[in-house]
Amino acid sequence: MSKGFASNYRIVLLAAGILASFGCVALRLLDLHVFERERLISFVDRARRQITVEPSKRGDILDEKGDRLATSRSVIVLGVDPQALLKTDEPKWPELARLIGMPLSELTRIFSTKTRTEAPSAVADVTLASTSNLAAATPEAVESLNQDRLIRWAKLSETVEESTYDQILKLGVKGVYGNRNYTRAYPHNQLAAHLIGFVNKAGEPAAGIEAFADFYLRGQDGWRESEKDGLRRELAQFRNREVSASAGYSVRLSIDSAIQHIVEQEIDAIVKKFSPDKVTIIVSDPHSGFVLALGNYPTFNLNEYNLLSKSEMGMMRNVAITDILDPGSTFKIVAAAGALNDGLVTPATRFDCSIDSIEYKGKPRRFMRDDHPFDHPLTVAEIISHSSNVGAAQLGMKLGENKLYDYARAFGFGEKTGFPFGGEVSGFLNPVDKWSGIDITRIPAGYSISATPMQIHYAMATIASGGILMRPQIIRQVSDDSGETVYNFTGSVRRHVLSTKTAEQMARMLQKVVSKEGTAPMAAIPNFEVAGKTGTAQKLIDGRYSARNHVGSFVGFFPASRPRVVMTVIVDDGRPPNGRVGYGSVVAAPSFKNIAEQLIQYLDIKPVIEPGRNLVVMEGGRR
Q: What is the DSSP string of 379-398?
A: EHHHHHHHT-HHHHHHHHHH
Task: Say what the pLDDT of residue 620 is.
Answer: 34
Pick the CATH number of 257-300+319-478+487-602 from 3.40.710.10, 3.30.9.10, 3.40.140.10, 3.40.50.300: 3.40.710.10
The DSSP code for 32 is I
> For residues 390 and 404, is the Cβ–Cβ distance under 8 A?
no
Q: DSSP secondary structure string, 411-425?
A: TTTTS----SSTT--
CATH for the stretch 52-253: 3.90.1310.10
CA dihedral 193, 197, 198, 202 (to 10 degrees): 150
Domains of the chain, residue spans: 52-253, 257-300+319-478+487-602
Residues of the chain under the 50 pLDDT cut? 1, 120-149, 235-238, 611-623
Task: Say what the pLDDT of residue 46 is.
Answer: 55
Residue type, 542: D
User: Residue 144, SS3?
Assistant: helix
Task: Say what the pLDDT of residue 16 is.
Answer: 77
> For residues 274 and 553, is the Cβ–Cβ distance under 8 A?
no
> For residues 80 and 175, is the Cβ–Cβ distance under 8 A?
yes
> For residues 64 and 255, is the Cβ–Cβ distance under 8 A?
yes
| 26 class by beta-carbon count within 10 Å (0-12 exposed, 13-18 middle, 19+ buried) | exposed
What is the rounded distance in angstroms from the CA atom of residue 538 to the CA atom of residue 245?
56
- Nearest residue to 569 (alpha-carbon basis) of 198, 295, 262, 342: 295
Beta-strand pair 222-228/49-54:
antiparallel
| 18 class by beta-carbon count within 10 Å (0-12 exposed, 13-18 middle, 19+ buried) | exposed
Share of the chain above pLDDT 90, in %: 66
**Cα separation of the two ends of the chain:** 131
| 246 class by beta-carbon count within 10 Å (0-12 exposed, 13-18 middle, 19+ buried) | middle
The DSSP code for 325 is B
CA distance readout (Å), 72 to 55, 187, 400: 12, 10, 56
> For residues 424 and 452, is the Cβ–Cβ distance under 8 A?
yes
Q: DSSP secondary structure string, 87-136?
A: GGGGGGHHHHHHHHT--HHHHHHHHH---EE--HHHHHHHHHHHHS-GGG
R_g of the chain computed on alpha carbons: 36
Task: Say what the pLDDT of residue 448 is.
Answer: 94
What is the rounded distance in angstroms from the CA atom of residue 324 to the CA atom of residue 508?
29
What is the rounded distance in angstroms from the CA atom of residue 445 to the CA atom of residue 121?
59
What is the rounded distance in angstroms from the CA atom of residue 370 to the CA atom of residue 441?
12
The DSSP code for 289 is -
Q: What are phi and psi of 184, to 5 degrees?
A: -85, 140
What is the rounded distance in angstroms from the CA atom of residue 207 to the CA atom of residue 59?
16
Residue type, 247: A
> For residues 552 and 571, is the Cβ–Cβ distance under 8 A?
yes
E-assigned strand segments in 530-588:
531-541, 544-558, 565-572
For the full predicted model, state whether its pTM sits above 0.85.
no
- Nearest residue to 276 (alpha-carbon basis) of 594, 552, 532, 623: 552
What is the rounded distance in angstroms from the CA atom of residue 388 to the CA atom of residue 372?
9
What is the rounded distance in angstroms from the CA atom of residue 402 to the CA atom of residue 430?
11
| 279 class by beta-carbon count within 10 Å (0-12 exposed, 13-18 middle, 19+ buried) | buried
User: Residue 314, SS3?
Assistant: helix
